[in-house]
Amino acid sequence: MKQYDVIIVGGGAAGFFAAINIAEQNPELKVTILEKAKEGLQKVKISGGGRCNVTHAEFIPQELIKNYPRGEKELLGPFHQFMTGDTIEWFEKRGVPLKIEDDGRMFPESNTSQTIIDCFLSEAKKYQVEVLYSQNVLDIQPTDEGFEVKTKEESYSCKKLLLATGSSVKFWKLLENLGHTISQPVPSLFTFNINDKRIKDIPGVVASHVEVTVLGTNLYSEGPLLITHWGMSAPSILKLSAFGAVELAKLDYKFQIEINFIRLSFEDCLDELKVLKQDLAKKTVFKSTQFDLPKRLWHQMVLASNMGEQTRWADLNKQQLEVLAGQLTKGVFNVDGKSTFKDEFVTAGGVDLKEINFKTFESRIHKNLFFAGEVLNIDAVTGGFNFQNAWTGAYIASKAIAK
């Protein structure tokens, strides 16, 4: 049996980050990563459309946690130990400067995820972390000295074990056998499928700031909205998909959303439309776009309000004004299914957070067993927050393990 001080199962973002930090802090430890694939860091490679959205330019822990539908409460303490600023510094110190985009997302200046991978591989080599590929861990047994870890062909023993296997249903089953509770996995970060006449012909249109409510629930979000070929996307929708991951799964992704495209109350909107009826009396409603809406979206709202392209403001009756105000401030759309958001998707679910000591990321059930990354029931909205969870957990666990 091969013996190590520390074994890390999973050579992804959290696994590599932890291994490097352990080996750097305590060079005497024999550290190895067991990765089931032929290569590691595959998600890092495809992340952020191949650019790797490493973290987010949010430097206040109390604000940062708001981006985690699962893990908000638990991550506050850890973020006080290892924050986004520490991530930036960590990479910069290793020759990987990051840049901030307008929306706060941070990427390597090189604009390619390969830079992050190269950095991890060379740091792992520098600190003599052994990385063993094609090692699918199938069994873990606690022993008097630590743990025995088995793949199909090999057995390994270690004193301390860090599990960084990401969202792996098979591995979660194995963890249940070890006595851990698993919150059932459901997808997060997806777009809504909507087949509706009002949006069918306008894919690509963006409303810069809308409010969206899922009817019959407390789910609400605001932000930009993108009309796609299949339905709707962009932060207002992705946030709902993340915060509503469990609830929307229970509804089998069939529900109704109400959109306020102009963030005015129905009454205020109606008042403004009445003024426009006077001021623009001779103009056609269709051609006089209002409320800073994209022209093509305005057209659809008008056509959905019992009027034609030639209808003039002066011709509008009370009922038409009310229907238009309704379309603009509380338009209802039927969602029927979801699609994967191509730039980033994660799974909600994983090891129950009550079973983790967040000062060290150690299991409360088995001593010397640690977790980091998506294997835990922690996930975030899009923007670099999922990786930040991996870095923070891995760093804090590495400190505890290296001691």
Ligand X SMILES: Cc1cc2nc3c(=O)[nH]c(=O)nc-3n(C[C@H](O)[C@H](O)[C@H](O)COP(=O)(O)OP(=O)(O)OC[C@H]3O[C@@H](n4cnc5c(N)ncnc54)[C@H](O)[C@@H]3O)c2cc1C
Give the residues lining the site for ligand X (CB under 6 A). 9-15, 34-37, 40, 42-43, 46-48, 52-53, 135-137, 164-166, 168, 171, 343-346, 373-375, 384-387, 390
| Shortest separation between residue 300's beta carbon and ligand X, angstroms | 31
Q: Between 137 and 335, name the residue whose CB sits nearer to ligand X.
A: 137
Q: Between 244 and 384, name the residue whose CB sits nearer to ligand X.
A: 384
| Shortest separation between residue 54's beta carbon and ligand X, angstroms | 7
Q: Which of 315, 340, 328, 338 is nearest to 198 (CA)?
A: 328
Q: What is the total residue count of the chain?
A: 403
Q: Between 13 and 65, name the residue whose CB sits nearer to ligand X.
A: 13
Indicate the residue type of 7: I
| Shortest separation between residue 171's beta carbon and ligand X, angstroms | 5
Q: Between 52 and 232, name the residue whose CB sits nearer to ligand X.
A: 52
Q: Between 242 and 285, name the residue whose CB sits nearer to ligand X.
A: 242
Q: Which long-range contacts (CB under 8 A, 24 or more apart) does 134-143 make?
A: 134/35, 134/36, 134/37, 134/38, 135/34, 135/35, 135/36, 136/36, 137/9, 137/34, 137/36, 137/165, 137/171, 137/174, 138/174, 139/174, 140/9, 140/174, 140/178, 142/178, 142/366, 142/369
In whole angstroms, give the CA distance from residue 36 to residue 137.
Answer: 7
Q: Which residue is nearest to ligand X (CB)?
A: 12
Q: Which of 189, 190, 169 is nearest to 351 (CA)?
A: 169
| Shortest separation between residue 116's beta carbon and ligand X, angstroms | 10
User: Under a CB-based contact definition with an 8 Å cutoff, are residues 225 and 236 in contact?
Assistant: yes
In whole angstroms, give the CA distance from residue 83 to residue 342.
Answer: 27
In whole angstroms, give the CA distance from residue 331 to residue 259.
Answer: 5
Q: Between 156 and 385, name the residue whose CB sits nearer to ligand X.
A: 385
Q: Angle of helix 114-126 relative to helix 42-50, nearest 10 degrees?
A: 150
Q: Between 207 and 226, name the residue whose CB sits nearer to ligand X.
A: 226
| Shortest separation between residue 279's beta carbon and ligand X, angstroms | 47
In whole angstroms, give the CA distance from residue 244 to residue 249.
Answer: 8
| Shortest separation between residue 252's beta carbon and ligand X, angstroms | 23
Tokens of 151: 């793949």
In whole angstroms, give the CA distance from residue 82 to residue 104.
Answer: 18
H-helix or E-strand containing 17?
helix 13-25
| Shortest separation between residue 367's beta carbon and ligand X, angstroms | 22
| Shortest separation between residue 321's beta carbon and ligand X, angstroms | 45
Q: Between 86 and 272, name the residue whose CB sits nearer to ligand X.
A: 86
